Amino acid sequence: MLRIAIQSKGRLNEDSLALFREIGIDVDDSKRRFLSQAPNFPIEFLYMRDDDIPQVVANGTAGLGIVGLNEVEEKGFDLTVVTKLGFGGCRISLALPKTVDYPGLSWFNGKRIATSYPNILRKFLSENAIDAEVEVITGSVEIAPAAGIADAIFDIVSSGSTLVSNGLREVEKVFFSEAVLVSAGRLSEEDKALLEEILFRIESARVSKDKKYILMNLPESAVEEAVRILPAMRSPTVMPLAAEGWCSLHSVVDAAGLWEKLRALKAIGAEGILVLNVDKLIP
Ligand code: PRT
Ligand code: ZN
């Protein structure tokens, strides 16, 4: 049984659960306890605060974890990022009151910076030879300058609206993060095989998101041109129609630039074009 630690509530919880559902692993969220087992896959979910996830993976309590790269970096345990997951995107930035002139990094010399990420901040300051004081606070970092606790902050930003509503300006983007799947690299052979299966499914889901299935009726004389417009994975499927001189063409295509492709296909005589979402795609 492979155990995976995920955030119990908060920003990464829903997307983590949605990821498993998307790859066919059911999660019984209604009966959520500390631990819950998937009914259709040998996996067990351990619900935790995100701050604790790097530690429980590092000490082997869970084989895998889903957590922000920011927490992985901050906690400093020896963990491997197995794959990035494409959600929970954010950055950790330096910000200061918008009325203050900012000449560049040297401004921070002798200043007090409030943060919940002291390790990432200290590393950045030392790499840039800045001598500033780090004030560790665990919540509502954005109010620190107005409260007189610090001159600036080092905090997570996504849309930036929290900074704006607190009269702050982002001046340095220091660390870029997203949710990642981590492991301490000590999985049993059995758990390794389960991880392989999970990664295979995640990759299939990822590929299918960027693809569309397209079918249309086409004059036989236009097939060559259609193949040029729609480079398929191998080559499109072409089937004769009962009507003389016509065929049906099926293909899987990149979703990017779809409207241009549709216009080009119409221009060469395609009719009854049907575009469908791809649920799973195994390349
Ligand atoms: O209870 P627990 O400890 O598990 O949760 P938590 O409160 O520590 O973390 P949570 O749920 O807020 O965030 C979990 C993870 O989501 C973080 O570690 C990041 O990896 C990621 N993430 C992505 C974010 C944001 N975006 C984000 N915007 N974490 C926090 N924020 C904060 C930000 O600091 C700001 O105060 O959300 C606020 C809104 O941001 P703006 O820029 O959109 O206004
Ligand atoms: Zn937390």
pLDDT score, position 31: 60
pLDDT tens digits, one per residue of 229-246: 987 777 889 999 998 999
The alpha carbon of 271 and the centre of ligand 2 are apart by a number of angstroms equal to 54
Phi-psi region of 110 (alpha: psi -120 to 50; beta: other; left: phi over 0): left
From atom 21 of ligand 1, which residue's Cα is the shortest distance away? 88
DSSP class per residue in 221-280: GGHHHHHHHS--SS--EEEE-SSTTEEEEEEEEESTTHHHHHHHHHHTT-EEEEEEE-S-
Q: pLDDT tens, 124-165?
A: 999 999 999 999 999 999 999 999 999 999 999 999 999 999
59-63 mean pLDDT: 97
Looking at residue 281, its pLDDT comes to 85
Nearest CA to ligand 1 atom 31: 156
Tell me the per-residue pLDDT of 238-268, one tens digit each, with 9 for 90 and over. Answer: 999 998 999 999 999 999 899 999 999 999 9
Instruction: Strand 271-277: give its sheet, edge to edge.
Output: 237-240, 246-254, 211-219, 271-277
CB of 11 sitting under 6 A from ligand 1: yes
Of 11, 157, 177, which is best to mutate to test ligand 1, by the most ligand atoms within 8 angstroms of its C-beta? 11
For ligand 1, say whether the CB of 162 is within 6 Å of any of its atoms. Answer: yes
